[in-house]
Structure 1
Amino acid sequence: MAVEEVKRRGAKVKEALIESKDQRWHCRNRVTLVFGSNDIEELDTYVYTTDSLEFKKVNFHQAKSKAIEEILDNCIDEFYRGHVTEIHCNLSPDGKVVTVQDNGIGFPLAKMKDVYTEFRTGSKFKDEEVDDKGFLYRTLGQNGLGASATCLTSDMFKATVRHYNSKKEQTYEFIDGALKIHKTKEKPFKGPSGVRVELTLAKEVYKNQVVDKELLRKRIIDLAYNNPGLTFYFNDEKYLYKKGLFELAQRIDGTTAQLIGDEKFVYETTNIKGAKVKAQYDVHVSVTFDKKSDDKERMISFVNSTPTYDGGFHHDRIKRLYINTIKDKLERTAKKDKLTLVDNDVLAGMTFVIGIVMPNPRFESQTKRKLVRDALLEKALETFMADGMTKFMRKNQELLDHIMERAKSRQRMMDLKDASKLAKKGKKQRVEKLLDANERKDRTKCALFICEGDSAIGGLRSARDKMYQGGIALKGKPMNVSQASIKEVLENQEFADIMSSIGLAIGQKAEAQELRFSKIVFLADSDVDGGHINTLLTNFFFTFWPEMFEKGMIQIAKAPLFEVVTDKGTIYCESTDELEKLKVRKDIKIKEIMRNKGLGEMSQEAFKHVLSRKDFTKISVKDMSASKSMLETCFGKESQLRKDLLIDSDEIDVDLTNVIAGNKAKKKSEARA
């Protein structure tokens, strides 16, 4: 392609300066390319206490931490190869000198200078390399950068290698990023072979040479949990675990810690040369769960012992398989209850402890904080979770029930928000059925009578104190709110009218000063059906506004069952017992006894007698928990609770007795029928 236009320039222009920098300069001045951020970041993680651990935010220096970890990772790689049984790590009192030593086999002394000063020098470049059983090696180091980058960014780096095969040892001391190198002569050694590294990070590179003791201790203990059977020492504290990461889960919460699985998967594959080799994948997943917590799930994960703070493929796949398996299990129940499960219903309060050991893991960067996809690992995880979750769900029906309750609670909160919006609209709407009180200035003086049927409201209309008494009629029996969703309650026209008339809103507390009526009085027939209506209304108000009972706002007006005309006037009896007592009195003469079958048959005088009282029978509640339990027994979905209650007639012992007894009597009559 021809260039059509040439930019006009002067006779001579300044060119870019082309430089060549050595590895030392590049590593020290571009340390973030190798070890990640060289600034302090706030990291959500955990630290170990004496016998537990604490989740918290810590000040984390990625580059400094990784520089030390690279030396520890070399020890772990030797453990994977079967050569290391002990790893010792020490931090000087001033936090500046770190020492790491293992009892592995070391490496050829002639390679010491290259290993610690030259990039791309190491023993783990051949991804196809296998052990004597044909298995691909599983390792952390892959790029030949780690140890040399640590050395080049240290003020002092002293390495002693005791080589098992040659039976010789040698020490190299690299000063100021290997600008100066001192070495001892090779000589025979006594005792165990292995590698010992002592270092002080460069102040010029890291600005602060002090290593965080708490986070270094955390790294050592993490390694001990990831490598059961491998003994670690940190400043002479010993760490050795036999059950591995499951013991970490138990340390988080010994009560709820459960093992989903700890399995090994072997697959036959081919290396880059096309030769058949075997690949082993070790997968561990443990969980703990806090039912009281609505916090987002926590993920503690490791790949070949290194913490994957940023997650990656293993995180995403295990979490999704866990969620989907539980959702599938609960799908029928959720559909029956008209619920939609969301991920947070399943995950809230959970802590996952994940450990993967695999050949040739690939990370997004040298910091190894995020794992990328691996086809064989995906295959292993699919099988692992399918088998493990089947057993897990079989043992954890209580957890599954809790997830459903959490979904119901979330749905309830959503419905409450909808209810609040509807309530604002409802307060502005006129209720056609409401017979309102005329008082406008002080509505705390007003009482609303909820009557059984239109005939009752007719009697109320003519007998009430129009200034302070209002009324609204029910058609038949009200809804049982214990077996209905909030949405269904909101869609119930009678309850919607009652709430609008009073100024109540589901999800908002009832404050007497803000309501249109401060006293709610049930006025139903004095029979079993009337008692049932009273209990259903009680259940409605108690479910959504229990505080109204504490304030004595919910009351019952007992309609007289008998109107007795005597020589001294009409006397009203609310029960047969009262009538019998009246009959034996000597001071009066009974002329006529009229029995009211319902409110519609009451005389206007009887209505006035009922409404003339200043106060009615208050439904009081001393024990909110017991009352809630009793209403759940009487009205909830679990029928067996009601059957048990009917058998044990002495069960009722709360202050809602007078109301609930009416419902109980009805249930008994139905049972006898």
Structure 2
Amino acid sequence: MGKVAKARTGTRIRYWADRQIFTKGAAFGFDDLIARARQTAFLVPGLGIEIDDRRGEEHARESFRFDGGISEFVDFLAPDAAITDTWRMQGTGAYKETVPVLQENGHMVSTEVERECEVDLALRWGQGYETVFRSFVNIIATPKGGTHQNGFEAGLLKFVRAEVEKNARKLKAGNDKVEKEDALAGLTAVLTVRLPEPQFEGQTKEVLGTPAVRAIVANTVAKQFAERFTSAKRDDKAQSALVLEKVVAEMKSRISARAHKETQRRKNALENSSLPAKLVDCRSKETEGSELFIVEGDSALGTAKLARDSEYQALLPIRGKILNVQKASVSDMLSNTECASIIQVIGAGSGRSFEVDQARYGKVIMMSDADVDGAHIRTLLLTLFFRYMRPMVEAGRIFAAVPPLHRVVIINPGSKPNETVYTYSEAELQGVLKQLDRSKRRYQDPIQRYKGLGEMDADQLAETTMDRRHRTLRRVNIGDAENAARVFELLMGNDVAPRKEFITAGEGLDRERIDV
């Protein structure tokens, strides 16, 4: 097509989608391209990748470059606050395998060749219990694992078990044995291996099948962990101790959950004396159709007792604002009276041991006052459910009650009874009042503003908030669990600076929605 200057080098590839394969309306997914470009930039340190989307009127452009490689990848993936630094572990190992080799005479002959496998691993432990693990072979993602992931898990478990046994008296571990899920709890890790001609299971290359890689990765992990745990550096000693304490705490939590699993069954308060005395249970023993209202304060509890349908509606009062579990440890959460009561009443465990099928109620409804403190309590409850009972949220079984803010009594002439209208926002109230003024209808003044649920009588609370025929509930959904986790960490976590910056910038905040 023409001459190119000597200094201008590189390759450009242009292609068009085959319309015999891609149906009409098929288009590039910009978010998918962004995710793949970001992943590749993490896996190849120093590689710069730019994506320029010129399809619309406003062009979208993203660029990625990470000199830290998979260490930065781990920091990006981690869903919780760290208890260790991001540790980097590398090693190599040689192995032999028999493969067909093309000879000079054109024949394929099975020949034993020597290979080398390079292992690169970055990991860190966090305060949570979720495990985030990504594995790759020659930059190819292996979402279903394979021999390299098996080697990592085997090497880690063997080493951690030996360390816990060695320090059993100090850690108060007893004779119980650490399991894989105990060691992996709260771990975020990225594992990459590089080797020639890897063997994959299936055409999709989602599982690495080269047998020798397992032992090489396991040996590398064991050796690197031994160096880290025997290091004389103060930070390494402190972080190693925190890891062992976390693993032992997870082990004890798992054993305790297993011991109590059989006793957490659907029973009423008379049959099960272990349930909190403040629980006002329902008569129905069926999970489907039953509802647990978490009520703010004893004053609202008294009204709610009279307003509820005792056949299928249970009440659990909480005192004020519960513990912020995003900042607290598992032991602090379990020792908190309010958090422990909620977990105990729902009866399905917590954390990794949570089983949504064992939940004693079909719906859990947060019923707090319609003010700033009520919104804060609702946020704290959501944080508890999100961190320790997430399957309930994912199943759409967590709801927020919507109590009214105002009560307008419309005065009718003569003997006709007065009408009552409830409004749920200041804008709705003003709209109702303007409509009444235009139609020249009278209403009682001043307008009643509910500051709390306790200000309603039983009939008003039932009609507006608890009766299935008239109430409004907001279902709590998780559209994107990872993004939701980052938002919870921003709003409720230990790191103050990003939260201050978020509040100062006012991004996404609607001042009209703030009750002041």
TM-score normalised according to structure 2 size = 0.52
Residues 549 and 621 of structure 1 are in contact (CA less than 8 Å); yes or no, is this contact kept in structure 2? yes
Give 1:585's aligned residue.
435
> Are 1:522 and 2:371 matched, yes or no?
no
1:572 corresponding residue in structure 2: 422
Quick one: structure 1 residues 298 and 549, their matched pair in 2 at CA, closer, same or farther if it must change by over 3 Å? closer
CA distance in 2, matches of 1:462, 1:599: 13
Name the structure 1 match of 2:459.
605
What are the residue-to-residue correspondences of 1:444-463 with 2, within 5 Å?
A: 444-463=288-307
> Amino acid of the residue matched to residue 431 of structure 2?
K
Structure 1 residues 580 and 418: CA distance shift in structure 2, 3 A: same
Cα 1:409–1:351, aligned 2, differ >3 Å: closer, same or farther? closer
C-alpha distance in structure 2 between counterparts of 1:423 and 1:496, whole Å = 15
Q: C-alpha displacement at 1:501, in angstroms?
A: 2.2
> What amino acid is aligned across from residue 620 of structure 1 in structure 2?
N
Q: Which of 412, 416, 431 is 2:250 aligned to?
A: 412
Q: Which amino acid aligns with 1:518?
A: G
Say which SS state the counterpart of residue 481 (structure 1) adopts. coil
**Where does the alignment leave 5 or more consecutive residues of structure 1 unmatched?**
1-51, 59-92, 94-211, 222-247, 257-288, 300-318, 335-340, 354-384
Please list the CA deviations of residues 378-402 of structure 1 after superposition, one character each: whole Å capped at 9, or x if unmatched: xxxxxxx89x967xx79x99x9979
Q: Which residue of 2 aligns with 1:350?
A: 221
Aligned equivalents of 1:298, 1:437: Cα separation in 2: 45
Q: Do the aligned partners of 1:291 and 1:402 also contact (CA within 8 Å) in 2? A: no
Please show how residues 525-540 of structure 1 align to structure 2 within 5 Å.
525-540=369-384
Is the Cα contact below 8 Å between 2:307 and 2:466 reproduced in 1?
yes
CA distance in 2, matches of 1:298, 1:595: 59
Deviation track 1:494-539 (CA, whole Å, cap 9, x = no partner) reads 2222223222211334435x33211011111111110000001001
Give 2:118's aligned residue: 252
Measured at CA, do residues 571 and 297 of structure 1 come closer, stay the same or move farther in structure 2, by a change above 3 Å? closer
Cα pair 1:560 1:606 within 8 Å, conserved: no
**What does residue 439 of structure 1 align with?**
284
SS at match of 2:300: helix
What CA distance in whole angstroms lies between the structure 2 residues aligned with 1:484 and 1:455? 29
1:270-309 to 2 correspondence within 5 Å? 293-296=152-155
Match of 1:487 among 331, 343, 368: 331
Question: For residues 289-335 of structure 1, what are the alpha-carbon distances to aligned partners after superposition, in whole Å with 9 as ceiling and x for unaligned?
Answer: 99993332699xxxxxxxxxxxxxxxxxxx99xx9xxx9xxx9xx9x
Q: Output one character per residue of 1:249-279: Cα deviation in whole Å (capped at 9) or x when no partner.
A: xx522677xxxxxxxxxxxxxxxxxxxxxxx
C-alpha separation in 1, matches of 2:328 and 2:435? 50
Output the amino acid matched with 2:499.
R
Distance of aligned partners of 1:350 and 1:294 in 2 relative to their CA distance in 1, 3 Å threshold: same
Contact 1:448 1:517 in 2 (8 A): yes
SS at match of 1:480: coil
Q: Give the gaps of 5 or more residues in structure 2.
A: 1-91, 104-109, 123-147, 172-177, 188-217, 266-271, 412-417
Cα displacement string for residues 64-98 of structure 1 (whole angstroms, at most 9, x for unaligned residues) = xxxxxxxxxxxxxxxxxxxxxxxxxxxxx9xxxxx
- Residues 191-249 of structure 1: CA deviation (Å, up to 9, x unaligned): xxxxxxxxxxxxxxxxxxxxx985xx76xx9xxxxxxxxxxxxxxxxxxxxxxxxxx7x
d(CA) in 1 for partners of 2:157, 2:383: 40
Give deviations 1:408-427, integer Å, cap 9, x for gaps: 36633532432443455565
Q: Does the C-alpha gap of structure 1 residues 298 and 505 become closer, same or farther in structure 2, counting only changes over 3 Å?
A: closer
Matched ranges for 1:222-233 at <5 A: none
Where relative contact order (Cα < 8 A, 6+ residues apart) is larger, the structure is 2
Structure 1 position 607, deviation (Å): 0.5
**Does structure 2 conserve the Cα–Cα contact (< 8 Å) formed by 1:444 and 1:515?**
no
* Whole-angstrom distance in 2 between the partners of 1:352 and 1:411: 25
CA contact under 8 A between 1:420 and 1:505: conserved in structure 2? no
1:648 Cα shift? Answer: 3.1
* TM-aligned CA distance change 1:56 to 1:409, over 3 Å: farther
CA 1:255/1:412 → structure 2, altered by over 3 Å: closer, same or farther?
closer
Q: Distance in 1 between matches of 2:120 and 2:279?
A: 59
| Pair 1:632 & 2:482 matched | no
Q: Specify the alignment match of 2:500 in structure 1.
A: 643
The alpha-carbon deviation at position 641 of structure 1 amounts to 2.8
SS in 2 for 1:462: helix
Q: Aligned partners of 1:582 and 1:511: how far apart in 2?
A: 43
| Cα 1:419–1:483 shift into 2, 3 Å | farther
Aligned AA (1:602): M
Structure 1 CA distance for aligned equivalents of residues 241 and 281 of structure 2: 45
Aligned to 1:445, what secondary structure does the other structure show? coil
Q: Give the conservation status (yes or no) of the 8 Å contact 2:283–2:310.
A: yes
Q: How does 1:315-330 map to 2 (within 5 A)?
A: none
Work out the CA distance in 1 between the residues paired with 2:355 and 2:93: 44
RMSD over aligned Cα atoms: 4.7
* Structure-1 separation of matches of 2:219 and 2:354: 28
Distance 1:409 1:526, change over 3 A: farther
Q: Percent identity?
A: 25
Q: Is the 8 A contact 2:276 2:341 kept in 1?
A: yes
CA distance in 2, matches of 1:551, 1:557: 18
Indicate conservation of the 8 Å contact 2:303/2:461, yes or no.
yes
Residue by residue, what CA displacement relative to the aligned partner does 1:574-612 show, whole Å, maximum 9, x if unpaired? 222221121101345322421222111112232012111
Is the 8 Å Cα contact of residues 297 and 349 (structure 1) preserved in structure 2? no
**1:596 match:** 450
**Distance across 1 between alignment mates of 2:290 and 2:157:** 54
Residue identity in the other structure for 1:471 = L
CA contact (8 A) 1:298 1:352 kept: no
Greater Cα radius of gyration, structure 1 or 2: 1
Q: SS at the partner of 2:409?
A: strand
1:626 is displaced (CA, Å) by 0.7
Spell out, residue by residue over 1:129-157, the C-alpha distance to the aligned partner (whole angstroms, 9 max, x if none). Answer: xxxxxxxxxxxxxxxxxxxxxxxxxxxxx
Tell me how far apart the structure 2 counterparts of residues 430 and 53 of structure 1 sit (CA, whole Å).
56
Classify 1:636/1:409 alpha carbon distance in 2 versus 1 (closer, same or farther; 3 Å). farther
Correspondences of 1:19-418 after superposition (within 5 Å): 214=112, 251-253=117-119, 293-296=152-155, 350=221, 352=223, 408=246, 411-418=249-256
Decide whether aligned partners of structure 1 residues 580 and 431 sit closer, same or farther in structure 2, where only a CA change above 3 A counts. same
Contact 1:449 1:471 in 2 (8 A): yes
Deviation for aligned residue 1:407: 5.8
Does structure 1 retain, via aligned residues, the 8 Å contact 2:408–2:444? yes
Matched, 1:421 2:259: yes
Given residue 506 of structure 2, which amino acid in structure 1 is its aligned partner?
S
Q: Supply the AA of the counterpart residue of 2:326.
A: S
The alpha carbon displacement at 1:56 in A equals 9.8
Deviation at 1:633, TM superposition (A): 1.5
Q: Counterparts of 2:260 and 2:384 in 1: how far apart (Å)?
A: 18
Indicate the SS of the match to 1:451: strand
